[in-house]
Structure formats: C-alpha cells, structure tokens
Amino acid sequence: MNRRDFLAGAATGLVVGGAGAYALGPRAKGRPSAPAVARKKTRHWTMVTTWPEMFPGLGTSAARLAQRITAMSGGELTVKVAAAGTLVAAFGSFDAVAQGSVEMGHAAPYYWQGKSKSFNFFAAVPFGLTAQELSAWIHYGGGQALWDEGYGQFGLKPFLAGNTGVQMGGWFKKEIRSMDDFKGLKMRMPGLGGEVLRRIGATAENLPGGEIFTALTTGRIDATEWVGPWNDLAFGFYKIAKFYYWPGFHEPGTGIECFVNKAKFEALPGHLRAVIATACRAEAEAMLGEFNHRNGTALKTLIARHGVKLRRFPDDVTAAFGKASAQVLGEMEAADDLTRRTYRSFHAFREEALSWSRLSDQGFLDMRHRVLRPKA
C-alpha cells in the first residue's frame, strides 16, 4: 500500500490513540468531523437534612457537601439538598433514606438512638471524645466498622461528615446556683446527655433545631442547648434566655453524619463511591474549622451587644453530671450486643486518649493560658 492509499483509508476508518478509538465521519472541506465521545451516565440524588434551610454551620455544611460531591464527580453525580420539612420531617430523614425514597441524609447520629443506643457513640456521649479523638476512633480505632454494622441493619452506609467541636452547656432563663435548680427543669437535650438530665431530676426533650426557639418562647421548655455561640446567635436564644453556661458535659465533639442508601451506594461505580467518601472526609475538616473560627466572634457579640450573662456551672453541678454520666454509660454493658461492643471499643479508646491528651492538648492549653493569661 502506498502512502496516498494509506492516508485515504485512515480518514474513513478508526484512529486508535491513547484515549481509545474514535470513529471519524465524512470530511467537510478537507477536515474530519469532531470525534464522537461516549457520554457518561449522569445521576441525580437528593440529600435530606435535619436542619433548617441553609442554617449557618449545619445547613450550609450540607449544601457545601452536596456541591463538593457534584464538583468532584464532574457532574456525573449531582446532589440537591432538601432541608428539614421540605420533603420529609427533620426526624423522618433516616427512614426516608433507608426506604430508598431519597438517596442521602445529613444529620447527627444520636437522633436515631431509638433504633440503637450504639448510634450515640458516633455523635457524642457525656464526657466522651473531642472532635479530633472521635475522628481517630472512627477512622483508625475500629469505630467505622461498628458504625457500618449498625447502620447496615437498616440498609444504610454512614460517613463522618462534620464536627461542631466542644459545645456549650446551654441557655437558661434562670441562673443555676446549685443542683436544686435542675429539679423539675424542662430542657432540650438529645442523646445520652438527655438521659443524664433525667437522672438528676430534670425533664429532657429531643427537639429538632427548627422547633427550639418556639418551645423556649412558649414555656414548653425552660432551657436548651444547641451547639455554640455561632449557631446559638443565629437562632436568637438570647432573646428569651440570658444565662449562657459552660462547659458542656454532654457533647465534647459532636460528629455530624452523611448517610447513604446502601444499595444505591454499592450500585455506584468505584470512582463515585470514592468521591462520596473523600468529600465527606474533606467536609468534616471544613466544618470543624469554620466553627472554631466563628464561635469566638459570635461569643463577643452575644455578650457585648445582647447582654448575655456568661456563667460557669457550679462544681456540685458538674460533679453530679459526671456521676450520672458514668451510670448511664455503664448501662451500655447490659444493652444489646452491638451497643455493648461499641461501648467497649469506645471506652478502651477513651482511656488511651485520656492519657495522651493530658500531655498533649490539655498540657499545651493549660500552659498557654498561664503564659498568655487572656482577659476573657
């Protein structure tokens, strides 16, 4: 075959290159048409949340995670967020995703403790793990396997997708001077922290974020915890309750989750499963960083502009919190098998963390405070 015949045949045949084979159509004005590129399948998913639409820190994190997945997948997997109450009620998101009516959810695992007490450990438990410690336990200490096992029973795949950091003790209409002030107190607090309140004589309610302000206004509750200064300022709790207490015993580093319908997740090609996992890991770091950045400024605003009275819990109160918390967590040994195994894993990790954090984080923070002696 001579050179002219070879080129003529190639123009109407297949050109095989590093990116694969492309069919060339008829030439126009001496030029071949553009190669036909195979189109990738586009998937459109919905993420339901337990948060008000675009609520600072939590709702915005869900939106950012959805955008991150969409961008990282090159639009191959697009995710749209549906805030609490738009498609399903806030606390209906777990079942909606499990049933497959929507693909993803964004919440805090302790909202589902009615399904299994073990789920508390992946969000926060009284006197539990900080944000860094929780991440270490889940990703490297065996927590993820236990979480997968628990959620797998409901057809779900969970991911750690955020953390609010150490939370405040809560908002109170009246000053807390002793344990007597908790007798008969009605307070919003979810998870095992709420059970601790019941042990010391208070009444605990688990309300979604969008209902708290109304409950506080109408007197349904006398006090509430939510997250910290940034989120609490946005909800306007200072308008009803002026006493803001610290430290929070109940949530030292609250994990926020993205959970996916397991069958739909496993049906994805490997690169899209990796996109979801990586996006959740990135958003976990992003959320914690944002909360740590914004809480300090918001606290100054609450005190200087809104007259909030910052108070530390009395020693007898924190001692009672500690005693009741030990009782509540100890009872996990007598719970179902998964909860018992999760508690034991968590407890063993916490013992190691206590030894290390005393020398590392706590040691440094104590030293820094002594040297710099901040006024506030």
In this predicted structure, what is the pLDDT of residue 7?
A: 36
Per-residue pLDDT of the chain (376 residues; tens, 9 = 90+): 443 443 344 333 333 333 333 333 344 445 555 454 456 789 999 999 999 999 999 999 999 999 999 999 999 999 999 999 999 999 999 999 999 999 999 999 999 999 999 999 999 999 999 999 999 999 999 999 999 999 999 999 999 999 999 999 999 999 999 999 999 999 999 999 999 999 999 999 999 999 999 999 999 999 999 999 999 999 999 999 999 999 999 999 999 999 999 999 999 999 999 999 999 999 999 999 999 999 999 999 999 999 999 999 999 999 999 999 999 999 999 999 999 999 999 999 999 999 999 999 999 999 999 999 866 5
Torsion sign, CA atoms 83, 85, 89, 91: positive
- Give one DSSP letter per residue of 272-302, joined into a string: HHHHHHHHHHHHHHHHHHHHHHHHHHHHHHH
Report whether 112 contacts 121 (CB < 8 A). Answer: no
In this predicted structure, what is the pLDDT of residue 38?
A: 54
What is the distance between the alpha carbons of residues 208 and 53, in angstroms, rounded to a whole number? 13
What is the distance between the alpha carbons of residues 128 and 326, in angstroms, rounded to a whole number? 11
What is the distance between the alpha carbons of residues 353 and 236, in angstroms, rounded to a whole number? 36
Pairing of strands 243-246, 104-107: unpaired
In this predicted structure, what is the pLDDT of residue 126?
A: 97
Helix (H) / strand (E) containing 105: strand 104-107
Nearby residues of 363 by Cβ (< 8 Å), 6 or more positions away: none
* Neighbouring-strand partners of residue 81: 47
Give this prediction's pTM: 0.87
Torsion of CA 326, 328, 330, 334, to 10 degrees: 170
Residue 345 tokens, joined: 């894993």
Closest CA to 188 of 222, 163, 214: 222
What is the distance between the alpha carbons of residues 351 and 223, in angstroms, rounded to a whole number? 32
**258: DSSP letter:** E
Q: Which residues of 196-207 are buried (b: 16+ CB within 10 A; e: fewer)?
A: bbeeeebebbeb
Residue 331 tokens, joined: 């009872």
What is the distance between the alpha carbons of residues 81 and 47, in angstroms, rounded to a whole number? 5
Domains of the chain with bracketed CATH:
43-163+253-292 (3.40.190.170)
Number of H helices, E strands in the chain: 13, 13
In this predicted structure, what is the pLDDT of residue 8?
A: 40
**33: DSSP letter:** P
Residue 173 CB burial class (10 angstroms; 0-12, 13-18, ≥19):
middle
